[in-house]
Amino acid sequence: MGTRYNAIAGTSAERLAALSDGLFAVAMTLLVLDLRVPALEAIHGEADLRQALIGLAPRVLIYLMSFLTLGIFWVGQQTQLNFVARSDRTLSWLHLAFLFSVSLMPFSTSLMAEYIAYCTALLVYWFNILLLGIVLYLTWRYAVRAGLTSAEVTPMVRRSMERRILIAQGLYGFGALLCLHSTHWSIGFIFVVQAIYAIGPRTGPLSRI
């Protein structure tokens, strides 16, 4: 018969974490390549350079927004992996699918930075966030169902993890819809949602999301 590869492959949660940290680190740093230094030909003095840098402001904002997105999902994945006692092959591949979505982020970000007024670009960006959310949700559901989580994972923790993803995706989806009105509204709304998630208020109505 022979041992099945399924039974022995992908059991190291540490290496999954190391690969994830590496991939997030590269994706976060590649984002900066969209901030292109102004071309020498167009700059004839300090005033020109200041003008050119001020013109970069929307790109800096989108860069910051994508950094926030990756930060939110990095914290989210880390929180999940902290609760995972061991991995298996399926969980490894679900996390690889998650990392695939992470690696698409520099592309979605470039696209939106270049086409900031286009609904199409915003929908691609939103689709990337949706993909991140769906895969992260599935990894969690799978880890719980396959009994890979540690004993600390009470039903309350489990529901907290799931509810959080669903609420966040609901808000992102609403933000994407706003592009029917204007992409600037969408970007503004998504940015605010992300800032709230990053700051994570501890009291008041927002402390529950």
Q: Which residue among 86, 90, 116, 141 contacts a second copy (CB under 8 A)?
A: 90
Pattern of binders to a second copy over 164-183, x per CB under 8 A? x-------------------
Residues in contact with 78: Cβ distance below 8 Å, sequence separation at least 6, in sequence order: 17
Q: Does 128 bind a second copy (CB under 8 A)?
A: no
Report d(CA 79, CA 178) in Å as an integer: 30
Report d(CA 155, CA 105) in Å as an integer: 32
Residues in contact with 98: Cβ distance below 8 Å, sequence separation at least 6, in sequence order: 20, 73, 77, 132, 135, 136, 139
Task: Give the number of other CB atoms < 10 A from CB of residue 69.
Answer: 25
Pattern of binders to a second copy over 20-59, x per CB under 8 A? -xxxxxxxxxxxxx-x-x--x--x--x--xx--x------
How many of the chain's residues bind a second copy (CB under 8 A)? 81
Q: Does 191 bind a second copy (CB under 8 A)?
A: no
What minimum distance in Å lies between the beta carbon of 113 and a second copy? 8
- Cβ proximity to a second copy, 104 vs 178, nearer residue: 104
Q: Does 193 bind a second copy (CB under 8 A)?
A: no
